[in-house]
Structure 1
Amino acid sequence: MSVQSDTHNDTTYDVNRRNVLKAAGTGIATMSLIGLSAETANATQALTLSNEWDKTFPKSNKVNHAKVSFVNRYGITLAADLYQPKDSNTQHAAIVVCGPFGAVKEQSSGLYAQTMAERGFVTLAFDPSFTGESGGEPRNVASPDINTEDFSAAVDFIGLLPSVDRERMGVIGICGWGGMALNAVAVDKRVKAVVASTMYDMTRLFSKGYNDSVTQEQRTKTLEQLGEQRWKDAENGSPTYGPVSLELKGGEPQFVVEYAAYYKSTERGFHPRAINSNASWTVTTPLSFMNMPILSYIDEISPRPALFIHGEKAHSRYFSETAFAAAAEPKELMIIPDATHTDLYDQLDVIPFDKISTFFQQNI
């Protein structure tokens, strides 16, 4: 893994695993690069990470920030932002954050991570494989398996930091990565608690459409079309991409208008690396999602607690309600009055950070 701190003029140091462990108590803010091994350091060199503050939210003076990278189980190098309380000489509970689907760490997940770091947690907001500053080819494709693994790889990374008590690990997943987070925590028993905020189950959405409205005939037709698309991609030697996301033409559902209001607005959430702001997914991205339900083992999160947060007026509310019903105790569903789906992306007066902080303080 590697770290580029914005607190030390980008000076770079190589530190082996033994020295990392000996450095407990010194805090990651004193380092610009931590390498677990020569192989890992070499693997991360392919990423070129932006050094300027390019988030969609103001930088906090209450925490230390560093750009970092690490490698997942499939050998893909991921880029992330590490946020730490100023008192990094003591060990803290840690939280990894990702989402929404088609977003980057400079948007909602970074806001969640920085805010939770202000509240005393070491946090990590990462770009999923194939997106943002993270590695992986082809670009702008998603996988329920690989993107679930991304959460556990983030846990691997943050749990080795000297400022982190790795027995106190939590996860936050937002929107489509809310479902991915629940899937990851079900299998990764190192994580002690999980929050799914304004979640989607992307496998359910791709398989059945909104409100499970897709018929078997429509599903079959879609799969036939995706099969034909594979022939075209195979002949061309590269994937085909859809139209640029959220380019409104009029007549779209209100929730699509709300998405555009977040992702396309430079005053709110636009970021040039975000698929939802400035690009598109590969046309065949739905394939693996249509064949792999991700919440089959959600009950195995128990006895670790899960907190579901959703807006009262969100079009996607049923995803959280269904997942909550399938989860085992201890669990809690928090419905935010009058809130829409995207209100929980960035509205500081709507996102229940007090509740999220208390939840993690009590459970990790």
Structure 2
Amino acid sequence: MNRNILKVTLLAATLGLVSGAAFAEDYRQNPFTLTYKNAITENVVGKVNIHAVNYALNGVNIVANVYTPANYDPSKQYPAIVVAHPNGGVKEQVAGLYAQRLAEMGYITIAADAAYQGGSGGEPRNIDKPSHRIEDIHGMADFISQYPGVDATELGLLGICGGGGYSLKAAQTDKRFKSVATLSMFNSGLVRRNGYVNSQTDTIQERLKQASEARALEASSGEIRYTGDAQLTDEQIAKLPFELYREGFIYYGKTHAHPNSTFRYTVSSLLELMSFDATNNIDLINQPLLMIAGSKADSLYMTQDAFIKASGADSKELFLIDGATHIQTYWNPEYVDKAVSKLTEFYGKNL
């Protein structure tokens, strides 16, 4: 693959890891390798607890964390929330943060690593196909619905970043989800196809040709081509054209890094990604819908577009966190508190 095209694709469509980074929320200091502030360090009776689980999904082993509320009693009934992580993220990062915070509000929650990614199984590694990510969400619903104490008739969904786009798609047909929320929604297919903020529309056909060649190579020789690897200096990060990518490199590569988190993915995945759009058939969502985004996020256009198109929702609300960028909704205590407060209000009314 042409190196220049790879570089453009990476900068405009992915986030990456930075080498030699210092860790503000060090996974190595947490027994559950959680990367977020005020993460659980031990299971204490009477408090929110974390439970590592695994289950099979279409022959692939999925690893997940289930969070149970304070004074959890498996003989009682609790509403539950499925949390879908961002592209390249893992359950120990922002998905875990929101899963823990919602468990503090009385919900049983689950955050799982996507199939072929993170700590979950599947070969070749780092396939990134929408059909898999959507199936991951259905699979989390399968598992958590049978977890002790879960009221399967009271199931909510929260998708973050890329997980938000895939949650919109999953909820179109999976009516086990009684309410749907997104945080900093990222329409992966739209960005992989057109580039971030439509910055790559002139290279669509060239990139499709490269993806087709990668698929042919896999079939003929078993060789897997990847994109999304990057090792940038602070100076290079500062020169990236979009705030999402600048802050993303810092979040994923420095302050909240995790060894299972990578934005490396197979080039052949683009065959499916570039024909996907989270808003296709979005009118099928008839559940209550809440979409949260930062008012200063350069990704806000994707949330606004999806919100307008979600014409079939029983009720819908666009909630902007004043002053927040995309990545700041992942970790900034002020903005996280506002998002959790709104989510608690939303699920309280609709679960």
Normalization by structure 1: what TM-score? 0.80
1:354 alignment partner in structure 2: 341
Amino acid at match of 1:355: K
Amino-acid identity (%): 36
- In 1, the alpha carbon distance for the partners of 2:210 and 2:177 equals 39
Shift of 1:162: 2.2
1:255 alignment partner in structure 2: 244
Partner SS state of residue 284, structure 1:
helix
- In 2, the alpha carbon distance for the partners of 1:155 and 1:245 equals 34
1:327 alignment partner in structure 2: 310
Q: Residues 92-107 of structure 1: matches in 2 within 5 Å?
A: 92-107=78-93
Amino acid at match of 2:126: N
- In 2, the alpha carbon distance for the partners of 1:96 and 1:307 equals 15
Shift of 1:243: 5.4
Amino acid at match of 1:69: N
Amino acid at match of 1:323: A
- In 2, the alpha carbon distance for the partners of 1:175 and 1:259 equals 11
Shift of 1:245: 3.7
The count of corresponding residues between Structure 1 and Structure 2 is: 306
From 153, 158, 166, the equivalent of 2:139 is 153
The answer on 1:363 being equivalent to 2:334 is: no
The answer on 1:88 being equivalent to 2:72 is: yes
Summarize deviations over 1:233-261 as a string: whole Å, max 9, x none: 34441312235246346221233211111
C-alpha spacing 1:243/1:326, structure 2 compared with 1 (3 Å): closer
- Cα RMSD for the two superposed structures: 1.7
Shift of 1:348: 2.3
The answer on 1:176 being equivalent to 2:162 is: yes
C-alpha spacing 1:87/1:174, structure 2 compared with 1 (3 Å): same
- In 2, the alpha carbon distance for the partners of 1:209 and 1:243 equals 14
From 52, 56, 59, the equivalent of 2:31 is 52
The answer on 1:199 being equivalent to 2:185 is: yes
User: Would the aligned equivalents of 1:207 and 1:219 in 2 still touch at CA under 8 Å?
Assistant: yes
- In 2, the alpha carbon distance for the partners of 1:118 and 1:166 equals 19
- In 2, the alpha carbon distance for the partners of 1:123 and 1:229 equals 38
Normalization by structure 2: what TM-score? 0.83
User: Would the aligned equivalents of 1:82 and 1:123 in 2 still touch at CA under 8 Å?
Assistant: yes
Q: Residues 204-243 of structure 1: matches in 2 within 5 Å?
A: 204-215=190-201, 218-242=203-227
- In 2, the alpha carbon distance for the partners of 1:193 and 1:269 equals 29
Partner SS state of residue 349, structure 2:
helix
User: Would the aligned equivalents of 1:144 and 1:294 in 2 still touch at CA under 8 Å?
Assistant: no
Shift of 1:67: 0.3
User: Would the aligned equivalents of 1:179 and 1:201 in 2 still touch at CA under 8 Å?
Assistant: yes
The answer on 1:120 being equivalent to 2:109 is: no
1:344 alignment partner in structure 2: 329
- In 2, the alpha carbon distance for the partners of 1:243 and 1:296 equals 26
Partner SS state of residue 266, structure 2:
coil
Partner SS state of residue 67, structure 1:
strand
User: Structure 1: which 5+ residue stretches go unaligned?
Assistant: 1-50
The answer on 1:164 being equivalent to 2:150 is: yes
Which structure is higher in helix share? 2
- In 2, the alpha carbon distance for the partners of 1:243 and 1:297 equals 29
Amino acid at match of 1:357: T
1:13 alignment partner in structure 2: none
1:309 alignment partner in structure 2: 292
1:190 alignment partner in structure 2: 176
